[in-house]
Amino acid sequence: MISVGCSDAARPENLEPLIELQPATEITRTEALVTAHVRNRGTGRLSYVDFYYGEEGQVTCQSPKEESVESVLTLHLNGLKPGTTYKCYAQGGTSTATLRSQTISFTTLPNEKPVVSPPVALSAGPIGIIVEFEIVEDGGEPVLTAGCDVTDASTLETVRIHLSEDCLTLRKHRLHITGLVPMTGYVITPFASNSLGEAKGESLEYTTKNTILLTEAGTLHELFAGATSIDLSCLTISGCMNGDDFRFLRHLLGGSESFDG
């Protein structure tokens, strides 16, 4: 009997490349990033690679931006549905074969309640305050309501003040809160809601006092909206003032708004 063996066989040259799809990353409510690694094992080279993705029973084909097939290919998926599971695979071809990676699954983040920032006091006085807060995120759904809850710290009675419907956008908003009681503590809490529910931001604690802080000239009247006069033995005003503020102050103290006389 004759036995023949080979301990150092030559590596085959006709092996096709491998396409390995990595787990999806940078997943948000509507976006995800998929990455394919191409591993060459012989002389064969891929001439193209396409990504296929979709919900169960649905397939969308999209090509990466790279013109040539490199070792790493990425594709940014957008326009996805929130809270939805997608399947994805990569498929490429050589001159002799069509190759396909394994299939991966990923689930986009669900829609959620809005996010609002803490309120900041811009101008404040004995019976009113102007606060600013931001609708930071809409949660993937249209914002239905937003504003601030104003709670009397001693009685715990709360008044809800809404932004107008045309102001429910992702930006900073100013809210004029008037009709407050002098020398009284208040808790001001911003809120915003969508179809998934209501979310509240951090609260601002403020105590009305005989001191007015103005951050913008010409806004004194906004702190006294609805008041025809005020009975204060002492009033301190700090900040930027102009002629409109002085005229309103004369009117508030019972005098004429005109400077004549």
Quote the pLDDT of residue 228: 62
Whether 1 is covered by a domain: the verdict is no
Domain span holding position 53: 18-107
> Looking at the structure, do residues 31 and 69 belong to the same domain, yes or no?
yes
Which of 107, 131, 166 is the endpoint of a domain?
107
Q: Among 80, 107, 134, where does a domain finish?
A: 107
Q: Let me know if residue 9 belongs to a domain.
A: no
* 89/125 same-domain check: no
Q: What is the pLDDT of residue 261?
A: 45
One domain for residues 123 and 239: yes
- The domain that holds 246 is classified in CATH as 2.60.40.10
Q: Which residue has the higher pLDDT, 158 or 5?
A: 158
Q: Let me know whether 63 and 127 are in one domain.
A: no
DSSP, residue by residue, 27-55 = --SS-EEEEEEEE--SS---SEEEEEEES
Asked whether residue 122 falls in the same domain as residue 167, the answer is yes
The residue among 164, 158, 177, 167 whose CA lies nearest residue 225 is: 177
218 and 163 both lie in a single domain: yes
Q: Per the structure, how many domains does the chain have?
A: 2
Query: Would you place residue 211 in the very low, low, confident or very high pLDDT band (cuts 50, 70, 90)?
Result: confident
pLDDT of residue 25: 97
* pLDDT at 15 > cutoff 90: no
Which band of pLDDT confidence, cut at 50, 70 and 90, is reported for residue 219? confident
Q: Which residue has the higher pLDDT, 105 or 259?
A: 105
Asked which of 79, 107, 135 is the last residue of a domain, the reply is 107
Do 142 and 243 belong together in one domain? yes
Q: Within a domain: residue 172?
A: yes
Does residue 4 sit within a domain?
A: no
Q: Are 217 and 93 contained in the same domain?
A: no
| Other C-beta atoms lying within 10 Å of the C-beta of residue 12 | 9
Can you tell me the distance from the alpha carbon of 181 to that of 209, in angstroms, rounded to the nearest whole number? 9
Residue 246 in any domain: the answer is yes
Do 103 and 134 lie in one domain? The reply is: no
What is the per-residue pLDDT for 3? 58
Nearest to 257 by CA among 244, 240, 241: 244
- 196 and 132, same domain (yes or no): yes
**Quick check: 85 pLDDT over 90?**
yes
Specify the DSSP element, H or E, that contains 106.
strand 104-107
Check whether residue 188 and residue 146 sit in a common domain. yes
* Residue that wins the pLDDT comparison between 139 and 69: 139
Q: In the predicted model, is pLDDT for residue 192 greater than 60?
A: yes
For residue 51, pLDDT over 70 is answered with yes
What is the average per-residue pLDDT within 25-45?
A: 91
Q: Report whether pLDDT(4) > 60.
A: no
Q: Answer whether residue 71 is part of any domain.
A: yes
Residues 126 and 245 in one domain: yes
* Structural domain includes residue 12: no
Comparison of pLDDT for 215 and 101, the residue scoring more: 101
Cα 89 to the center of its chain, rounded Å:
30
